[in-house]
C-alpha cells in the first residue's frame, strides 16, 4: 500500500470558479426553494409544506384543534429540516387575519395583534388547524393533478406544488428577498380576480384596461383607503412593477378626529408615538389631546383632539399623513416562479393567462385521473357481472380449487384484476350480488365517462367547466372589497408658520428702532418701559402666525415673523440686529396682518398708493423697495384699509391743512412713488418746510379726533364735509388753535 495519494482522478478547480459555482447554486436554491412563491398555488416551500403536513395530520376545518408544536415538529421532521421558530412564524403569518387576506390556518390562542404582529405566544401554547379556504389548495391533491418529489431524506414524497383552484398568488400575495431579486405581491379581492379570470377565458385577447375594469387594485385585509389613481394602478399592472399608496380612514365626531382604519402592517402604537413626539416638540400646537380608544369592538380607534373648532381637520390630517405612518407606500414587484420553473416578473394579464394554463392542465389531469378510475371500475364490474351470471360455478371454484384465481381466469376469461376483485369479496357478499345494482353502477359510470371524454376532447367544454368551478369558489369564499379606492390629493406637511399658535400679539416699535411683541391686544404700548432717550413710535395688532413689516425712512420694507420677536416683558431688541437698512435710515412705521390685508402707504411729500401686506413681505435682510421717496421726504406709517371702495383719506400737513377725498381715487400698486394725495410744493418738501404729517383712512360713521397740545377737536362726517375736495388739492386750514396737529385718532362708529 502506497503512502502517496493518487490525485490524478481529482478535478482541479480554481478558487474563483469554485466560489462562483457555489454562489450560483446557493442563489438558485434561495430563489427556487425559499424566497419566491410558485404561480400555481402562490406558496413558498415552507408554506406549502405546512399546509400539506396539516392535511396529512387530518387537521381540516372540521377537525379539532391540534397543538401547533406538533404540527411544526411534523413539518421540520418530515419535509422542512430548518429552524422550528422560523417555521412556526410562517404558520403564524398564515393564521393572522390582519396579515393574510384569506387565511390558510385557523389558530386558537394568542396569534398576535394588528398592533404587534410579533406578540404571538409560543408554539407549545397555541393550537391550530386548516381553514375552509385551504380546501382551495388541497381538495384535488390526491387526484393525479400535481407532480411529486422525494422529501429531503427520501423516505416519503411531497407535492412539488399544490393544485390550487384559484390564483392564490394574487389573493394572499407574498413577500420575499432572494439573491439578486425580490418579490412584493399585494393581496387582492377574490371576486375581482375571479371575474378577471372569467373575462380572459371568454376573451383571451383582453387588454390590461379590460382586466382593470374587474381588478380595481389591491385589497388589503385592513380597511384603509388606496389613494393611487386608476391610471397609476393600471400602469403598474401593465409593467408588473410599481407602488401603491394607502391612507388611514378618519371621520370627525363632535369636533374630534377619529381614525378608524390604518394602512396594512401599520402599528397603531407607533402612530400614536409619532403624533405624541410632534406634540412634545411643539410641532402640533393645534392638537391638545391624543387618545387610544381601541377595543375588541373597534380594533382601531385613535382620537385626535384639535385645539378648537377653527382648526381645519382636513389640513391637520394632511400634515399627519405626510409625517406619520398614517399614509404608506407599498412596492409591487410581481416576481414569481412560473410553470416552467423559472423566476420572472409578470404583468398582470400575463400572470393570469399563465395561471389559467396551469389550471387547465390541472383540470385535465384530474379528469384523466378520474377517467382511469372509472375504466378500472368498469373493468371490475364486468368481471362481477360475469361472476353473477355464473355464481354457482364461481362459488364452487373458490371452495374446491387449489388455485381458484387461475381457474377463474381460464374458465371465464377474466383478467387478473377481475379475478382478484371476485376473490376479495366474501362468499356471502358474492352470493348477494345483484345484477340490477351492477348494471346500475355501470350505467352511471358510463354516463360519467362519456361526460369526461366530451370535456377532455373539447376546449370549449373545458373552459366552461373551469369557469363554473371558479364561480362556485367565488360564491363560497368571496367577499366585499375592504380597501376602498379613492383618488386623493398628495398630502403635505405644515410649513413652519402653519405650526405656530395663532395667539394675539401687539407689535411695538420705538423711535430708536427697538422692537418687541406684547401678548394680547389690550396692552397700552405707551405705558411700556423704554430705554433712556427712547419713546413709543408705533404699534400694530396681529397674531403670532403672521408677518410683521417695518418701514424705514427711505421707503424700504422689512419682514419678520411675529412669533420670533422678543417679549414685551423687556425693552426688546434693536431692529437693526435682524435687518440691514441703508446707512442713515431710520424706522418710521410697522404693520401686520393677513397677506391679503390692504394698507395705504405714502411719503410725507404727499404721494401714495394702496398695497397689500403680501407686496411688502420679503425674506431679504436688506428689505425691498416699497415707496419711492422724493428728495427731502421720508416714508410714513402705513394706514390700515378696511373697505377700499367706501372709505376716505384724511391728509394733514404741518401747516394745518386738511384734505379729504375717497380712497378709491388712489391706485393699487406693488411698489413705486404713487400719485399725489395732497399738493405740497416740491421745493418746500426739499427744504422740509412743508410736509404731510398725518394720514388717516376712515369711514362715514367714524369720528376723527385731532390733538393739538392739550386741546382736542372731534370732527364727524358732516363737519369733515368742509374739507372735502378733489385729490391733489392743497386742502383747507383747520380752525385756529388746531393748525399744529400733534396727532389724529380714528374713533370707529357703530
> Known catalytic residues?
125
Among positive and negative, which fits the CA dihedral 137, 143, 145, 151? positive
Q: How many beta carbons lie within 10 A of that of residue 33, not counting itself?
A: 13
Q: Residue 526 has what DSSP assignment?
A: G
Which of 235, 245, 234, 323 has its CA nearest to residue 277? 323
- Rounded to whole angstroms, how far apart are CA atoms 618 and 615? 8
Is 337 in a helix, a strand, or coil?
A: strand
Is 744 in a helix, a strand, or coil?
A: strand
Phi, psi of 306 (to 5 degrees): -70, 160
Which of 55, 52, 130, 47 has its CA nearest to residue 89? 47
Q: Which residues of 338-356 are buried (b: 16+ CB within 10 A; e: fewer)?
A: beeeebeebbbbbbbbbbb
- Rounded to whole angstroms, how far apart are CA atoms 611 and 47? 71
Which of 631, 645, 666, 654 has its CA nearest to residue 731? 654
Cell representation of residue 22 = 457555489
Q: Assign 3-class secondary structure to 179-199.
A: CCEEEEECCCCHHHHHHHHHH
Using alpha carbons only, what angle is made at residue 591 by residues 586 and 593, rounded to the nearest 5 degrees? 155
β-pair type (127-130, 675-676): unpaired
Q: Which residues of 202-211 are buried (b: 16+ CB within 10 A; e: fewer)?
A: eeeebebeeb
Q: Which residues of 626-650 are buried (b: 16+ CB within 10 A; e: fewer)?
A: bbebbebbbbbbbbbbeeeeebbbb
User: For cell 412743508, what's the residue?
Assistant: 690
Q: How many beta carbons lie within 10 A of that of residue 678, not counting itself?
A: 27
Q: Residue 565 has what DSSP assignment?
A: S
**Is the distance from CB of 718 to CB of 704 less than 8 angstroms?**
no
- Rounded to whole angstroms, how far apart are CA atoms 690 and 56? 107
Is 363 in a helix, a strand, or coil?
A: helix
Half-sphere exposure of 382 (CA within 13 A, CB side): 14
Which of 576, 552, 578 has its CA nearest to residue 564? 578
**Is the distance from CB of 56 to CB of 45 less than 8 angstroms?**
no
Dump strand ranges (E) for 217-334: 225-226, 241-247, 249-253, 256-261, 287-292, 302-306, 327-333
Cell representation of residue 178 = 432572494
Distances in Å between the Cα of 504 and the Cα atoms of 69, 507, 559, 590 are: 66, 10, 18, 16
Amino acid at each position: 500500500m502506497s503512502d502517496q495519494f493518487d490525485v490524478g482522478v481529482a478535478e482541479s478547480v480554481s478558487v474563483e470558479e469554485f466560489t462562483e459555482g457555489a454562489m450560483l447554486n446557493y442563489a438558485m436554491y434561495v430563489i427556487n426553494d425559499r424566497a419566491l412563491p410558485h404561480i400555481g398555488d402562490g406558496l413558498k416551500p415552507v408554506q406549502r409544506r405546512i399546509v400539506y403536513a396539516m392535511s396529512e395530520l387530518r387537521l381540516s376545518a372540521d377537525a379539532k384543534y391540534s397543538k401547533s408544536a406538533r404540527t411544526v415538529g411534523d413539518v421540520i421532521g418530515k419535509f422542512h429540516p430548518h429552524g422550528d421558530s422560523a417555521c412556526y412564524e410562517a404558520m403564524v403569518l398564515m393564521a393572522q387575519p390582519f396579515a393574510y387576506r384569506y387565511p390558510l390556518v385557523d389558530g386558537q390562542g394568542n396569534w398576535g395583534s394588528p398592533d404587534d404582529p410579533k406578540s404571538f405566544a409560543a408554539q407549545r401554547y397555541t393550537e391550530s388547524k386548516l381553514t375552509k379556504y385551504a380546501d382551495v389548495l388541497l381538495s384535488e391533491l390526491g387526484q393525479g393533478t400535481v407532480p411529486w418529489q422525494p422529501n429531503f431524506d427520501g423516505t416519503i414524497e411531497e407535492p412539488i406544488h399544490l393544485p390550487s383552484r384559484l390564483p392564490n398568488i394574487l389573493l394572499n400575495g407574498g413577500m420575499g428577498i432572494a439573491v439578486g431579486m425580490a418579490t412584493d405581491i399585494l393581496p387582492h379581492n377574490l371576486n375581482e380576480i375571479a371575474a378577471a379570470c372569467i373575462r380572459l377565458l371568454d376573451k383571451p385577447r383582453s387588454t390590461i384596461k379590460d382586466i382593470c375594469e374587474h381588478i380595481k387594485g389591491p385589497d388589503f385585509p385592513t380597511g384603509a383607503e388606496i389613494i393611487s389613481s386608476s391610471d397609476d394602478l393600471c400602469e403598474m399592472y401593465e409593467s408588473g412593477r410599481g407602488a401603491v399608496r394607502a391612507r388611514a380612514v378618519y371621520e370627525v365626531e363632535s369636533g374630534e378626529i377619529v381614525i378608524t382604519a390604518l394602512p396594512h402592517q401599520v402599528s397603531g402604537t407607533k402612530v400614536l408615538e409619532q403624533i405624541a413626539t410632534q406634540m412634545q416638540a411643539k410641532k402640533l400646537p393645534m392638537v391638545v389631546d391624543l387618545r387610544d380608544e381601541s377595543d375588541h369592538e373597534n380594533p382601531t380607534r385613535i382620537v385626535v383632539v384639535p385645539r378648537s373648532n377653527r382648526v381645519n381637520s382636513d389640513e391637520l390630517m394632511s400634515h399627519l399623513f405626510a409625517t406619520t405612518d398614517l399614509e404608506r407606500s407599498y412596492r409591487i414587484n410581481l416576481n414569481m416562479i412560473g410553470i416552467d420553473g423559472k423566476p420572472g416578473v409578470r404583468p398582470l394579464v400575463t400572470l393570469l393567462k399563465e395561471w389559467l394554463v396551469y389550471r387547465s392542465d390541472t383540470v385535465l389531469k384530474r379528469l384523466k385521473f378520474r377517467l382511469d378510475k372509472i375504466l378500472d371500475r368498469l373493468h371490475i364490474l364486468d368481471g362481477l357481472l360475469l361472476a353473477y351470471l355464473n355464481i354457482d360455478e364461481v362459488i364452487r371454484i373458490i371452495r374446491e380449487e387449489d388455485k381458484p384465481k387461475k381457474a377463474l381466469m381460464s374458465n371465464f376469461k377474466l383478467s387478473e384484476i377481475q379475478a382478484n376483485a371476485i376473490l376479495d369479496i366474501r362468499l356471502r357478499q358474492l352470493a348477494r350480488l345483484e345484477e340490477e345494482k351492477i348494471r346500475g353502477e355501470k350505467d352511471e359510470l358510463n354516463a360519467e365517462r362519456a361526460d369526461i371524454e366530451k370535456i377532455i376532447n373539447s376546449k370549449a367544454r373545458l373552459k366552461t367547466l373551469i369557469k363554473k368551478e371558479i364561480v362556485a369558489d367565488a360564491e363560497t369564499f368571496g367577499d366585499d372589497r375592504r380597501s376602498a379606492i379613492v383618488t386623493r390629493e398628495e398630502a403635505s406637511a405644515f410649513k413652519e408658520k402653519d405650526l405656530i399658535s395663532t395667539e394675539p400679539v401687539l407689535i411695538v416699535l420705538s423711535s430708536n428702532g427697538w422692537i418687541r411683541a406684547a401678548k394680547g391686544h389690550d396692552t397700552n404700548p405707551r405705558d411700556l418701559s423704554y430705554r433712556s432717550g427712547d419713546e413709543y413710535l408705533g404699534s400694530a395688532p396681529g397674531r403670532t402666525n403672521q408677518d410683521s413689516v417695518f418701514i424705514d425712512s427711505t421707503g424700504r420694507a422689512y419682514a419678520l415673523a411675529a412669533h420670533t420677536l422678543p417679549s414685551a416683558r423687556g425693552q426688546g431688541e434693536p431692529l437693526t440686529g435682524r435687518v440691514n437698512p441703508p446707512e442713515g435710515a431710520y424706522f418710521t412705521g410697522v404693520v401686520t396682518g393677513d397677506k391679503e390685508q390692504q394698507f395705504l402707504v405714502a411719503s410725507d411729500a404727499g404721494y401714495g398708493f394702496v398695497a397689500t401686506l403680501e407686496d411688502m413681505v420679503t425674506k431679504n435682510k436688506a428689505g425691498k423697495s416699497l415707496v419711492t421717496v422724493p428728495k427731502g421726504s421720508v416714508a410714513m406709517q402705513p394706514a390700515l384699509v378696511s373697505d377700499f371702495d367706501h372709505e376716505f383719506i384724511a391728509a394733514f400737513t404741518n401747516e394745518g391743512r386738511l384734505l379729504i377725498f375717497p380712497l378709491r381715487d388712489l391706485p393699487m400698486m406693488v411698489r413705486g412713488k404713487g400719485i399725489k394725495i395732497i399738493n405740497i410744493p416740491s421745493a418746500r418738501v426739499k427744504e422740509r418746510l412743508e410736509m404731510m404729517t398725518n394720514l388717516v383712512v376712515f369711514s362715514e360713521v367714524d369720528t376723527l379726533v385731532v390733538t393739538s397740545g392739550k386741546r382736542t377737536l372731534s370732527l364727524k362726517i358732516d363737519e369733515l364735509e368742509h374739507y372735502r375736495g378733489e385729490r391733489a388739492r392743497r386742502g383747507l386750514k383747520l380752525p385756529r388753535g388746531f393748525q399744529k396737529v400733534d396727532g389724529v385718532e380714528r374713533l370707529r362708529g357703530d
